[in-house]
Amino acid sequence: MDRFLPGRALLILLFTDIVGSTEHLVELGDERWRTLLGRYRTAVRQELSRYGGHEVDTAGDAFFATFDRPTSGVTCARAIRSAVMDVGLQLRTGVHLGECEMRGEKVSGIEVHAAARIMATAGDGEILLSNAVREAISGTDFPTTDRGHHALKGVPGDWQLYALVPRTA
């Protein structure tokens, strides 16, 4: 029976979404938006490659990626935010640590939904971390600020979230 059950893996889950993408599209028009979107996707994929991320899925201007190590996922989130700012866009990002179902390259389960909801809770330019990620990176050089408790739409429980403090020059 076990061979029919999906495997499970503890993963760092990263979701990103462009802030104001519809407004950008309206302002730029289809062709210029498509060019900017291409630059954005290239920038994100370069950072995913650099930090060992695995691109799971894209939808419109959103990315879903996984990492094996918490510090890699958080460092990559920070690098993606910076790279995307360089192309003139801003993201909202969510990072969560959870045990997921694995069916080949497919990653699924409630933890994936939680990570997507964490991203949706993030403000413009913000990287939100679940408490599980914050605990996993404690003792590292990733200062955070408490963003309080949140109900994540459709996900059971009360979720303590933290914003990754941007680096100062």
pLDDT digits (tens, 9 = 90+) for 87-127: 999 999 999 999 998 887 788 899 999 999 999 999 999 99
Long-range contacts of 141-146 (CB under 8 A, 24+ apart): 142/71, 142/74
Exposure of 163 by Cβ count < 10 A (0-12 exposed, 13-18 middle, 19+ buried)?
A: middle
Is the CB of residue 121 less than 8 Å from the CB of residue 128?
yes
pLDDT in the model for residue 48: 98
pLDDT of residue 5: 62
Instruction: Give the tens place of pLDDT for each residue, 141-155.
Output: 899 999 999 999 999
Interatomic CA distance for residues 73 and 79, integer angstroms = 10
Arithmetic mean of pLDDT, 47-66: 94
Average pLDDT, the chain: 92
**Domains of the chain and CATH, by start:** 2-164 (3.30.70.1230)
Average pLDDT in the 44-60 region?
Answer: 95
Q: In which region does residue 109 sit, left (phi positive, over 0), alpha (psi from -120 to 50) or beta (all else)?
A: left
Task: Give the tokens for residue 47.
Answer: 């950072």
Q: How confident is the model at residue 167 (pLDDT cuts 50, 70, 90)?
A: confident
